[in-house]
Amino acid sequence: MDRESRLIYFYFWIFGLINNVLYVVILSAAADIVGPNLPKSLVLLADILPAFLIKLVAPFFIHKIAYRHRVWSLILFSCLGMFLVSFRRLAVCLTGIVLASLSSGFGEVTFLQLTHIYKQTGLNGWSSGTGGAGLAGSGVYMLFTSVLKVPVKMSLLIFSILPFGFLLYFQLDGSEHDRVSENDDYEPFLNFEEMNPDEGSAPQGAYSIAKRNTISKLAHHFVKTCSKLNKLTIPFMLPLTTVYLFEYLINQAVSPTLLFPLDQKGMPFFFHKYRDIYVTYGTLYQLGVFISRSTASLFRMRKLYFLSMLQGINFMLSVFQSWDYVLKTPWPIMALIFYEGFLGGASYVNTFLNILEKLPPKEREFGLGSVSIADSFGVLIAAVIGLVLEPTLCKHQVEDNRPWCTLE
């Protein structure tokens, strides 16, 4: 790898790290944000719904926004979002989560589209960086709050300065800063103001024709975009959605109930409270994600549905443990969580590598940006299901004389 390729890899690694680290920190802090009496999926829902919505509508307009404008908006929304998240009032905190989520979703579409220009080097750097974000976010948050006993508010505020790292974008080729997407393959809309009959520039008939023509162009663009999205659904989007559905059901709905008595022998020394178990699970999950996303170039997986099946098995095993309390020690569960993260990371990076390999060059930029809808959609479904699943599991555990899920 030459010097230029190493720099591109490094920059995209940083972009992936920063874009995802706030998302991970918020999920790691879910137990601190909502406490033991509310489902953690409430935080997941606020953390993923805005990102999903921005990804859903992005294919219809993002090609009109220059990359430099996108980067500045990411910095603004991320910093403001994390500042608000640090407040302990739930309403203010959720508002900050929404802003951070919008930034994360928009950032993922933006930088995945940029990998169309910088090819596999950029994609490998981005994927590894997003994996590193999970490890850094959950690991540092666990270090701050569980080991060093830094207050939650201060820990969250520290992360709010990271988005300024997006400024490294301007170290890339300067010709890209004002560039818009290559997907703008239709004619620009007519200018209504130039044909407004009130200004005497055109007769009423000409204005009506222009308006109908513009509506027709909008409809044509909408149908064409939906058709392009439909072609991506079966080979790429559906397997990625199912993997993320299962893994986030485990992470946010089941793992908060995979608890053990703190006073029993063989427990890790840093398990002081039950929330420490949840934070540790998050760190192990992100470690698995980081390893798989960083080694995808060595271990390629082209059968994406196989990963979906394996993740579904993990979900069933975790629910069985939560319901029947088969294993009495946390160590096998910690290994399962790590393995679950490894599968999730492998599914993510291999999906986008398959897009680079299989799609024609003219369709890659659109495909890379649009398929990111799939993982958010899976997480969104998991968040909705988790609002019911976690309380159901916790209620059963209390009735089974295992009240740990109601304790801090």
Domains of the chain in start order, with CATH, are: 3-406 (1.20.1250.20)
Summarised one tens digit per residue, pLDDT across range 316-349 is: 999 999 999 999 999 999 999 999 999 999 998 8
Q: What confidence score (pLDDT) does residue 15 get?
A: 95
Q: What confidence score (pLDDT) does residue 34 get?
A: 79
| Residues in Cβ contact with 245 at an 8 Å cutoff, skipping those fewer than 6 apart | 378, 379, 381, 382
Mean pLDDT of 243-268: 92
Q: What confidence score (pLDDT) does residue 193 get?
A: 42
Summarised one tens digit per residue, pLDDT across range 379-408 is: 999 989 998 999 999 999 999 999 999 987
Mean pLDDT of 118-144: 86
Amino acid at 192: F
Q: What confidence score (pLDDT) does residue 195 get?
A: 42
CB 77 within 8 A of CB 102: yes
Residues 241 and 301: their CA atoms lie apart, in Å, by 16
In percent, how much of the chain has pLDDT > 90? 41
- In the predicted model, is pLDDT for residue 41 greater than 60? yes
Q: What confidence score (pLDDT) does residue 184 get?
A: 46
Summarised one tens digit per residue, pLDDT across range 172-212 is: 875 455 555 555 443 333 343 444 445 455 555 655 665 56
Nearest C-alpha neighbor of 356 from the set 184, 169, 114, 128: 114
Q: What confidence score (pLDDT) does residue 108 get?
A: 92
Q: What confidence score (pLDDT) does residue 297 get?
A: 67
Give the pLDDT band of residue 271 (cuts 50, 70, 90).
confident
Question: What pTM was computed for the model?
Answer: 0.75
Q: Is the dihedral of CA 230, 233, 234, 236 positive or negative?
A: positive
In percent, how much of the chain has pLDDT > 70? 89
Helix ranges (DSSP H) in 35-89: 41-57, 67-85
Q: What confidence score (pLDDT) does residue 120 get?
A: 84
Nearest C-alpha neighbor of 371 from the set 384, 358, 385: 358
Residues 267 and 283: their CA atoms lie apart, in Å, by 17
Is residue 362 classed exposed, middle or buried when 0-12, 13-18 and 19+ CB atoms within 10 A define those classes? Answer: exposed
More confidently predicted of 41 and 305: 305
Instruction: Compute the residue count for the chain.
Output: 408
CB 112 within 8 A of CB 16: no
- In the predicted model, is pLDDT for residue 368 greater than 50? yes
Summarised one tens digit per residue, pLDDT across range 272-315 is: 888 888 888 988 998 898 899 888 767 788 889 999 999 999 99
Q: What confidence score (pLDDT) does residue 275 get?
A: 80
Range scoring the smallest mean pLDDT among 11-25, 158-172, 211-225: 211-225
Q: Number of helices (H) and strands (E), helices first, in the chain?
A: 13, 0
H/E stretch holding 267 reads none
Q: What confidence score (pLDDT) does residue 210 get?
A: 56
